[in-house]
Amino acid sequence: MEKTNPNIDEMAVLNPKVFANPTLATKIYPPLKQVIFGKYTYRNQRDTDSLKEMVSKPEKVSYVEREDGHRVYKMFVPINDGDVLYVALNYDRMSQPIYRLSMVLIVFGLIGLIALFFTTARFFNRIYENISKIKSQIKLLETRDFTARSKVSDRGELNELSASTNHMAETLQTVLRDTDEQVEQTQRLSVLLESEASKTMEKIYTMSMKETADGRAAAEGFMDFLDRVESKLQSIPDTSETSVLMDEITRIRNLVKKRTEATTDMTLTLADLLTSLHEEAVKLSDIAARLQGNLSGFKL
Could you write out the three-class secondary structure of 11-55? EEEECHHHHHCHHHHCCCCCCCCCEEEECCCCCCHHHHHHHHHHH
**DSSP β-bridge partners for residue 89:** 8, 73
**Which of 168-177, 191-200, 286-295 shows the highest mean pLDDT?**
168-177
pLDDT, tens digit (0-9, with 9 covering 90-100), for 192-237: 877 777 777 677 767 777 777 777 777 777 778 878 877 877 777 7
Using DSSP, state whether 287 is helix, strand or coil: helix
Average pLDDT (117-122) is 88
Specify whether the CB–CB gap between 55 and 36 falls below 8 A: no
Average pLDDT (152-180) is 85
In angstroms, the CA 133 to CA 137 distance is 6
Between 273 and 84, name the one with better pLDDT: 84
DSSP of 215-243: HHHHHHHHHHHHHHHHHHHHTSPP-HHHH
CB atoms inside a 10 Å sphere around CB 278: 19
Residue 61 has pLDDT above 90, yes or no: yes
- Could you give the angle at which helices 157-234 and 240-295 cross, rounded to 10 degrees? 160
Q: Is the peptide bond before 31 cis (omega within 30 degrees of 0)?
A: no
Residue 74 has pLDDT above 90, yes or no: yes
**At 37, phi and psi to the nearest 5?**
-155, 140
Percent of the chain residues past pLDDT 90, beyond the cut: 17
pLDDT, tens digit (0-9, with 9 covering 90-100), for 18-41: 999 988 888 877 888 889 999 999
289 CB-near residues (< 8 Å, 6+ apart): 187
R_g of the chain computed on alpha carbons: 62
The pLDDT value given to residue 16: 92
Specify whether the CB–CB gap between 150 and 137 falls below 8 A: yes
**Which strands make up the sheet holding 8-14, listed edge to edge?**
35-38, 8-14, 84-90, 70-78, 61-67
pLDDT confidence band for 4 (50 / 70 / 90): low
The pLDDT value given to residue 173: 84
SS3 content of the chain, % helix, strand, coil (to 5): 70, 10, 20
Residue 169 has pLDDT above 90, yes or no: no
Specify whether the CB–CB gap between 65 and 44 falls below 8 A: yes
- Could you give the angle at which helices 91-142 and 157-234 cross, rounded to 10 degrees? 10
265 closest CA partner among 203, 223, 213, 212: 212
In angstroms, the CA 177 to CA 183 distance is 10
Residue 3 has pLDDT above 70, yes or no: no
pLDDT confidence band for 191 (50 / 70 / 90): confident
The pLDDT value given to residue 1: 44
What average pLDDT is seen over the chain? 83
